[in-house]
Structure 1
Amino acid sequence: MPDLIPRHAQALVNDALADTRVILVNGARQSGKSTLARLATAQNPATIMRLLDDPVTLLAAQDDPTSFVDHDGLMVIDEVQLAPDLLRPIKLKVDLNTRPGQFILTGSSRVLALRSLPDALPGRMEIIELWPLSQGEISGGPDRFIDAAFAHGSQIDHTSEWRRKDYLARAVVGGFPEAIRRTDRRRAAFFDSYLATLIERDVLELASIERRGEMFRLLSLLAGRVGNLLVPGTLAGQSGIPRTTLTRYLELLASVFLIKSVPAWSSNITQRAVGTRKLAFVDTGVACHLIGQDLARLNDPGGAAGPIIENLVLMELARQLTWSDQRARLSHFRTKDGVEVDAVLETPDGRVVGIEVKAGANVRTEDLRGLRLLADTVGDQFIAGYVLYTGQQTLPFGDKIRAVPLDALWRVAP
């Protein structure tokens, strides 16, 4: 893997620098935020870099926040969540001078969720989320399936050379640059270190945890439930953690970009939908590590291939939505009698694309039930339904529904 992989988010940062006073690049630790900030400012030699991971720099920021942010050009403040008191003098500075492109902030937790946050920057700051590498960024693909689906409806036609094992190999590795570079054994060491740092440092920056061992046990439990509904009461019973504490732990894990909940899709024209969110891990490599599934075990008949592949697709869609031209909301659809669609994309004007995910190379009639129900439910607003599967051909299944090889997700363009 090359040392620097072009990121789709760099164009977003460049655009924001032209018309926004403060840009916050927010995302998971080790996802490349610092590198992205350096690349975005490479053509500006007057940029001031402030790295709060350096103890002396952090002490200066805490001792005199106003002087720390005083500058005339562009300042990058890395890991700003370490010194949230900087945000008040930043707000004052950009209120007095409305020139765009004054600050790039990076954070490894959802900075705006910090309870100690002195003030936010509404109307002054654009937030750009940076996820671990997408499959398109790793492979050099366009990563434009969402735009293609809404532009062309059910007419996407894609042929693939990939087989099921190829997708599982990508899922086991995940998208962290450091994990991709390593051998299997060394990758496991990276994930162990990553998770320990995340809990011992990042989570503790947001809140105190009474028993850290509970958090690690909860992580393993959650990794074994990817793709399932996120029901705090059920998880509390399985983990032995009180429900109120468990709910707080889930919020913390989402705040440090370890897990993500996918909301349920609902419409006023159907009363059959379940309103519970679905659980996903931001990185499938982390999830596989937590449940002890390498490529061989994942590919076994009793392995976790199905939920892990579904998780992979959900998070690729979530990544694409941060840069796609078509604005849309990601959700899932499930009825009270168990009919479901793994991912639903809905635009602000109500157009809908449904996506079902299959880890196998065959598509059965029952695999189409959810998409057909969704199509009947939304009527003319239904643009297309796709079954993303590990087969190699595009196959039509009636009006507006097709099965397409899963790597179309990052290989097709509008």
Structure 2
Amino acid sequence: MLGLMVKLPESPIGRILPRRAATAIDEALADTRVVLVNGARQCGKSTLVAQIGSAKGAEWRSLDRAATRQAAAFDPTEFVASSTPLVIDEVQRVPELMLAIKEAVDTDPRPGRFLLTGSARVLRLRSVPDALPGRMETIELWPLSQGEIDGSPDGFVDAVFAAGPELRHTSTETRADYVERITRGGFPEAVARPPRRRARFLDSYVADLINRDVIQLSEIERGPEMRALTRLVAARSGQLLVPGTLGNELGLPQPTIKRYLGLLEEVFLIKRIPAWSRNLSTRAVGTAKVAMVDSGIAANLLGLDAAALRQPSGPLGGLLEGFVAMEIARQLTWADQRIELHHYRTKDKVEVDIVLENRRGQVVAIDVKAASTVKAEDFRGLRHLADRLGSDLLTGIVLYTGQQTLPFGPRFRAIPISALWEASSTGN
């Protein structure tokens, strides 16, 4: 039997946490023929679509099962023929299904026909035909946000664009609390485990991802080189991503490094944060920065546990910046405003860690500091941008590990990092 009625899987943390993407998926199914939930393995896609599919009486087919995969490849048209909504898990494993789904929804254009999941950026893979323009909406699902774990609002992005420098937040979090959050990460299996067992899970996760998804999807045979590259990228969290430098360290040509980085991004292991300039200065650097999608994976790859990162001299800065960037990236998938995430750096090494810009050209600029105190010079890059943007800069913020919101001029604030998940969309 290929198809089963959807059965909700058990949650590794003992309860199924509400996901903010659920609303977007429900809305898309109401008016779109095909909805794809795309994201990292083990981030909760199957659990989420099982909840939604169960409520809609959908039939479930997982391409992780060998027999199901073989049937899909043998006769894609018959495989997708269904009078009820159909959930297909890990659709990237049989790319031929996309053309069959196109034929099915062109014949019967009712919304909500197919709910798909993918553990790779499905439409970027060379083996997947671009079959569904105008027929499919893609919703990205990341590992759990801090707000999803805590049951808090996760509304910073909308709040800061609404309130600007009037946003206020008081925190009870300490530097040690942030370290615990970074090493825990957001994968449900990792959240549920004590530190030693979490490390085992994260080791297996990265190994399986490279051996199974990266190598199988791309037909490469250099697993050890991919693993070495992954560790190098983790060590550069929050830094510029320069393929030539990585190639020199690994003894690989730059085109190979670029291809490997693309593969790591396709399977949601890393995220590139593009440079931002708006042609303000010919001295702006165009190189992207990189963050690991999950901070727990980044820390584990570097062999850094909470005790190491709690040390005053511990290498917390880059991991903390990557953690903040990815919490914001998660929020951008559900924020009311449509906002782009960038970084800014000049050839003179004036930089801003995170630049958020909405479609009206309004900007919120953010620097991230691992310190619990903030000084005026910590706003150097933010003031540099303010001089060039004028009124388009709504506010410049230093997110730090202290507990109070502090003013540093009319448009500049130091705000506790926990505002990211504790602020509500109407401010705090």
Q: d(CA) in 2 for partners of 1:171 and 1:304? A: 12
CA positional deviation for 1:392: 0.4
Q: d(CA) in 2 for partners of 1:132 and 1:252? A: 19
Structure 1 range deviating more: 335-344 or 282-291: 335-344
DSSP 3-state at the match of 1:105: strand
Q: d(CA) in 2 for partners of 1:268 and 1:250? A: 27
| Residue 305 of structure 2: aligned partner | 294
- What is the percent sequence identity of the aligned residues? 57
1:86 maps to amino acid: L
Q: What pairs up with 1:8-87 in 2 under 5 angstroms?
A: 8-45=20-57, 47-87=58-98
CA positional deviation for 1:245: 1.0
**1:192 maps onto 2:203 in alignment:** yes
1:33 maps to amino acid: K
Q: What pairs up with 1:244-255 in 2 under 5 angstroms?
A: 244-255=255-266
2:215–2:221: 8 Å Cα contact kept in structure 1? no
1:178 maps to amino acid: E
Count matched residues.
413
DSSP 3-state at the match of 1:127: strand
CA separation of 1:57/1:265 partners in 2, compared to 1, >3 Å: closer, same or farther?
Answer: same
1:48–1:75: 8 Å Cα contact kept in structure 2? yes
Give the gaps of 5 or more residues in structure 1. Answer: none
DSSP 3-state at the match of 1:84: coil
Q: d(CA) in 2 for partners of 1:244 and 1:34? A: 35
**1:7 maps onto 2:19 in alignment:** yes
Structure 1 range deviating more: 266-275 or 213-222: 266-275
| Residue 404 of structure 1: aligned partner | 415
2:20 maps to amino acid: H
Q: What pairs up with 1:129-168 in 2 under 5 angstroms?
A: 129-168=140-179
1:221–1:239: 8 Å Cα contact kept in structure 2? no
CA positional deviation for 1:334: 0.8
1:365 maps to amino acid: A
RMSD: 1.0
Give the gaps of 5 or more residues in structure 2. Answer: 1-12
CA positional deviation for 1:302: 3.1
1:50 maps to amino acid: R
Q: TM-score, normalised by structure 2?
A: 0.95
Q: d(CA) in 2 for partners of 1:314 and 1:191? A: 20
DSSP 3-state at the match of 1:293: coil
CA positional deviation for 1:120: 2.7
Q: What pairs up with 1:320-335 in 2 under 5 angstroms?
A: 320-335=331-346
Which whole-Å deviations, capped at 9, do the CAs of 1:349-395 have from their partners, x for residues lacking one?
A: 10000011011101112210111111111111111111110000000
Match of 2:373 among 351, 362, 385: 362
Which whole-Å deviations, capped at 9, do the CAs of 1:44-73 have from their partners, x for residues lacking one?
A: 22x110011111111110111000000122
| Residue 170 of structure 1: aligned partner | 181
Q: d(CA) in 1 for partners of 2:26 and 2:222? A: 43
CA positional deviation for 1:272: 2.5
Q: d(CA) in 1 for partners of 2:54 and 2:398? A: 42
CA positional deviation for 1:185: 1.0
CA positional deviation for 1:340: 0.9
**1:107 maps onto 2:113 in alignment:** no
DSSP 3-state at the match of 2:54: coil
DSSP 3-state at the match of 1:41: helix
Q: d(CA) in 1 for partners of 2:307 and 2:231? A: 19
Q: d(CA) in 2 for partners of 1:318 and 1:51? A: 28
2:38–2:117: 8 Å Cα contact kept in structure 1? yes
Q: TM-score, normalised by structure 1?
A: 0.98
2:387 maps to amino acid: D
Match of 2:192 among 160, 170, 181: 181
Q: What pairs up with 1:180-329 in 2 under 5 angstroms?
A: 180-329=191-340
CA positional deviation for 1:342: 0.6
DSSP 3-state at the match of 2:96: helix
2:216 maps to amino acid: E
CA positional deviation for 1:182: 0.5
Q: d(CA) in 2 for partners of 1:111 and 1:318? A: 19
CA positional deviation for 1:256: 0.4
Structure 1 range deviating more: 287-296 or 332-341: 332-341
Structure 1 range deviating more: 298-307 or 5-14: 298-307
CA positional deviation for 1:116: 1.2
| Residue 95 of structure 1: aligned partner | 106
2:38–2:141: 8 Å Cα contact kept in structure 1? yes
Which whole-Å deviations, capped at 9, do the CAs of 1:308-332 have from their partners, x for residues lacking one?
A: 1100100001000000001110000
CA positional deviation for 1:285: 0.2
CA positional deviation for 1:293: 0.2
CA positional deviation for 1:109: 0.5
Q: d(CA) in 1 for partners of 2:414 and 2:130? A: 48
Match of 2:395 among 354, 359, 384: 384
DSSP 3-state at the match of 1:337: coil
2:91–2:116: 8 Å Cα contact kept in structure 1? yes
1:115–1:206: 8 Å Cα contact kept in structure 2? no
2:34–2:115: 8 Å Cα contact kept in structure 1? yes
Q: d(CA) in 2 for partners of 1:340 and 1:133? A: 29
DSSP 3-state at the match of 1:122: coil
Q: d(CA) in 1 for partners of 2:298 and 2:361? A: 33
CA positional deviation for 1:299: 1.7
Q: d(CA) in 2 for partners of 1:307 and 1:22? A: 38
DSSP 3-state at the match of 1:62: helix
CA positional deviation for 1:3: 2.2
